């Protein structure tokens, strides 16, 4: 599995992902799952992916090839993130159509999902999830985050912490904790964790970091968080069993 | 969906469940999912269930009928929890065999899972998970909890808090928080929450409670927990983006 998330707030975008891929427990590898297709000053285009690795790598390759070949439709030429999402959806459909019959013969799941985040000069930042079927949805101020892959473990912390008014620094910590919680509960999600922060209207990546195993900040976050949970837990009064 | 969990520690057992059942979002109902088949002084037998409601209700009915009919094999006559788990597994297989071909014609999932917890006089307490296929596993001191249904949202808190040495009062709070977190992130899990506590070697239910919407204790737990998360979150230093 994989776990990627995107957060959009009025201050900009935050994208984060783990780096583990597995085909069964005896084939675990580390792959980059967060890709930057930006043209600084004109557009920021960030893409993360989950699901069948051969499918997502094919899609990423086709996206790169179209840019290099100067195709009419490519990530640098299309005029809006809506058009870019449709274009990525179309490529996904094409790759699926090509490989699916062969994968299905052996019962291999060829599903995949993408998170697309970015901004094009003169337009608002957007965050979208593109499904395996090629269709897509946008994050909104009411639901300012989207997740793909192994999403459930890390959702409670997002539900309790994020709003559209959250600062990007807080969103970054929240994303890190969400991924770290998932890594603790599910071995199919693993380090390094990659985080990219984009400030609205800057039209270039503001910050990016990779947190490897043993990273001092990540270990400190984990220690503080566990301490907080234990302390908070201790502060909750015991159940009064006689109350009813 | 549903969310049920069982915790076994050296002090005894804790079983908890939500009460929501749904067949699509337009058919949501409240059903009891935690059943007490104990004979105080001789044995404690607690059973919770998730999955297809018609299948689990049929199984529960057959279990009750066998007791009433005084069948040779029933929940009150069998000599160990191991035998009881095999017996429940056999009934599950029989019900599945009867209904499955008809459900599958309409693409209806007939999977179900059970958690069985209890103690029989002269033996140790045990906690088991019985699968849809009728086989089963036991919780062990290394992994002192088992979950069925919508298990992922509420797992991180269990992973971080529970050991075999945890007191039952702490385990009860932990179970409540695990279910409450799940309810916040997934509408297919809902109140009331039922919690049953069993102290080792007492051979009778020690405590049980049901927490409905608006229960003052549950609201206080939720408030304290959210405050703790917010405070703990605020205490985590911001990411230093210049570190690398």
Q: Could you read off the pLDDT of A168-209 as tens digits, one per residue?
A: 999 999 999 999 888 877 777 777 899 999 999 999 999 999
Q: How many CB atoms lie within 10 A of CB B83?
A: 13
Query: Are the Cβ atoms of B160 and A217 closer than 8 angstroms?
Result: no
* B130 within 8 A of B77, measured Cβ to Cβ: no
Q: What residues of chain B, 193 to 232, have a C-beta less than 8 Å from chain A?
A: 195, 197, 206-207, 209-210, 217, 220-221, 224-232
Residue A1 has pLDDT above 80, yes or no: no
The C-alpha atoms of residue B3 and residue A11 are separated, in whole angstroms, by 37
Q: What is the mean pLDDT of residues A81-95?
A: 96
Query: Are the Cβ atoms of B228 and A221 closer than 8 angstroms?
Result: no
Confidence at residue A231, expressed as pLDDT on a 0 to 100 scale: 86
Q: Domains (ranges, CATH) in chain B?
A: 3-233 (3.60.20.10)
Q: What is the mean pLDDT of residues A62-82?
A: 96
Q: Which residues of B touch A184 (CB under 8 A)?
A: 156, 159-160
Q: Does A244 touch chain B (CB under 8 A)?
A: yes
- If one compares B26 and A231, the residue with the highest pLDDT of the two is A231
Q: What residues of chain A, 161 to 190, have a C-beta less than 8 Å from chain B?
A: 161, 169-170, 172-174, 176-177, 181-182, 184-186
Share of chain A above pLDDT 90, in %: 61
From B185, B209, B229, residue closest to A244, measured CB to CB: B209
* A29 within 8 A of A183, measured Cβ to Cβ: no
The C-alpha atoms of residue A161 and residue A110 are separated, in whole angstroms, by 33
Confidence at residue B25, expressed as pLDDT on a 0 to 100 scale: 58
CA proximity to B210, closest of B36, B1, B26: B36
**The pair of three-digit structure tokens given for residue A223, joined into one six-digit string:** 């220690």
Share of chain B above pLDDT 70, in %: 95
CA atoms within 13 A on the CB side of B233: 22
Q: What residues of chain A, 133 to 152, have a C-beta less than 8 Å from chain B?
A: 150, 152
Confidence at residue B28, expressed as pLDDT on a 0 to 100 scale: 65
Q: Does B238 touch chain A (CB under 8 A)?
A: yes
Please write the tens of the pLDDT for every residue from B151-172.
Answer: 888 888 898 889 999 999 999 9
Q: What is the mean pLDDT of residues A155-168?
A: 91
Among A24-38, A67-81, B87-101, name the one with the lowest average pLDDT. A24-38
Under DSSP, the state recorded for B25 is: T
Query: Are the Cβ atoms of A224 and B230 closer than 8 angstroms?
Result: no
- If one compares B81 and A106, the residue with the highest pLDDT of the two is B81
Q: Which residues of B touch A239 (CB under 8 A)?
A: 169, 172-173, 176, 195, 207, 209, 217
Q: What is the 3-state secondary structure (H, E, C) of chain A?
A: CCEEEEEEECCEEEEEECCEEECCCCCEEECCCEEECCECCCEEEEEEEEECHHHHHHHHHHHHHHHHCCCCCCCCCCCCHHHHHHHHHHHHHHHHHHHHHHHHHCCCCCCEEEEEEEEECCCCCEEEEECCCCCEEECECCECEEEEECCCCCHHHHHHHCCCCCCHHHHHHHHHHHHHHHHHHCCCCCCCEEEEEEECCCCCCCEEEEECCCCHHHHHHHHHHHHHHHHHHHHCCCCCCCCC
Handedness of CA A2, A17, A168, A13 (dihedral sign): negative
CA A161, distance to chain mean position in Å, is: 17
Q: Which of A80-89, A106-115, B24-33, B232-241 has the highest mean pLDDT?
A: A80-89
Instruction: Measure B224 CA to nearest chain A CA, in Å.
Output: 7
Helix (H) or strand (E) holding B97: helix B81-105
Q: Which of A175-184, A211-220, B129-138 has the highest mean pLDDT?
A: B129-138
The C-alpha atoms of residue B168 and residue B190 are separated, in whole angstroms, by 23
Q: Does B153 touch chain A (CB under 8 A)?
A: yes
Q: Does A240 touch chain B (CB under 8 A)?
A: yes
pTM of the model: 0.80
Q: How many CB atoms lie within 10 A of CB B230?
A: 14
Q: What is the mean pLDDT of residues B232-243?
A: 86
How high is the mean pLDDT of chain B? 90
| Phi then psi dihedrals of residue A113, to 5 deg | -140, 150
From A156, A169, A209, residue closest to B181, measured CB to CB: A156
Q: What is the mean pLDDT of residues B184-209?
A: 89
Spatial CB neighbours of A244, under 8 Å, sequence gap ≥ 6:
B209, B210
Which site among A227, A232, A235 would you substitute to test the B interface, given the most B Cβ atoms closer than 10 Å to its Cβ?
A: A232
Among A5-19, A80-94, B133-147, B170-184, name the one with the lowest average pLDDT. B170-184
Confidence at residue A41, expressed as pLDDT on a 0 to 100 scale: 97
User: B23 in helix, strand or coil?
Assistant: coil
Query: Are the Cβ atoms of B159 and A184 closer than 8 angstroms?
Result: yes
* A174 within 8 A of A166, measured Cβ to Cβ: yes
Confidence at residue B48, expressed as pLDDT on a 0 to 100 scale: 96
Confidence at residue A111, expressed as pLDDT on a 0 to 100 scale: 93
Residue A244 has pLDDT above 60, yes or no: no
Please write the tens of the pLDDT for every residue from A7-43.
Answer: 999 999 999 998 877 666 566 677 778 999 999 999 9
Q: Does B64 touch chain A (CB under 8 A)?
A: no
Confidence at residue B24, expressed as pLDDT on a 0 to 100 scale: 62
Residue A223 has pLDDT above 80, yes or no: yes
The C-alpha atoms of residue A140 and residue B8 are separated, in whole angstroms, by 43
Q: Which residues of B touch A185 (CB under 8 A)?
A: 152, 155-156, 159
């Amino acid at each position: 599995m994989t776990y990627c998330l995107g957060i959009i707030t009025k201050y900009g975008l935050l994208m984060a992902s783990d780096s583990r891929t597995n085909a069964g427990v005896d084939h675990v590898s580390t792959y980059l799952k967060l890709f930057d297709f930006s043209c600084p000053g004109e557009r920021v285009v960030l893409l993360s992916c989950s699901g069948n690795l051969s499918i997502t790598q094919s899609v990423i390759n086709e996206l790169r090839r179209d840019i290099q070949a100067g195709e009419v439709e490519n990530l640098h030429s299309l005029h809006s993130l809506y058009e870019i999402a449709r274009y990525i959806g179309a490529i996904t459909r094409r790759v699926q159509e090509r490989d699916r019959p062969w994968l299905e013969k052996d019962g291999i799941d060829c599903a995949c999902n993408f998170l697309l985040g970015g901004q094009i000069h003169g337009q608002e930042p957007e965050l979208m999830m593109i499904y395996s079927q090629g269709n897509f949805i946008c994050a909104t101020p009411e639901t300012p985050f989207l997740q793909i892959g192994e999403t459930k473990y890390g959702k409670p912390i997002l539900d309790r912490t994020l709003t559209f008014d959250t600062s990007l620094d807080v969103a970054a910590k929240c994303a890190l904790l969400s991924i770290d919680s998932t890594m603790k509960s599910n071995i199919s999600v693993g380090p390094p964790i990659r985080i990219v922060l984009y400030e609205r209207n800057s039209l270039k990546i503001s910050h990016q970091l990779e947190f490897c195993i043993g990273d001092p900040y990540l270990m400190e976050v984990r220690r503080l968080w566990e301490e907080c949970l234990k302390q908070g837990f201790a502060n909750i009064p015991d159940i009064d069993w006689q109350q009813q």
